[in-house]
Amino acid sequence: MSYLLDIRKEERRKKWGYLGINIGDLVYQLIMFILLLGMIFAVYFFVRSLLARSNKSNSIEQKLDRVIELLEKDKRE
């Protein structure tokens, strides 16, 4: 009986190839790789959003300065 099991294992190895690692190890490595990529993307988008906020605040400051200038000019006239 064990001889038949050995033959079936050998057939599976020929069909699928022998990886030498368990499926659980493969799944674990895949999850860790996805988490690593997720952290990299999170840092990237966090920095990008910080830079976008500073650009928006500069734009708002410029608009407010323009409004103040116009109000002061209007008061003088």
Write out the DSSP string of the chain.
-HHHHHHHHHHHHHHH---SS-HHHHHHHHHHHHHHHHHHHHHHHHHHHHHHHHHHHHHHHHHHHHHHHHHHHHHH-
Sign of the CA dihedral running 11, 17, 21, 26? negative
Q: Is the pLDDT of residue 71 over 80?
A: yes
pTM (global) more than 0.75 = no
Please provide the average confidence, as pLDDT, over all residues in the chain.
Answer: 80
pLDDT of residue 34: 98
The 10s digit of each residue's pLDDT in 8-45 is: 666 666 665 556 667 888 889 999 999 999 999 999 99
Distance from C-alpha of 2 to C-alpha of 12, rounded to nearest angstrom: 15
pLDDT of residue 6: 67
Distance from C-alpha of 68 to C-alpha of 60, rounded to nearest angstrom: 12
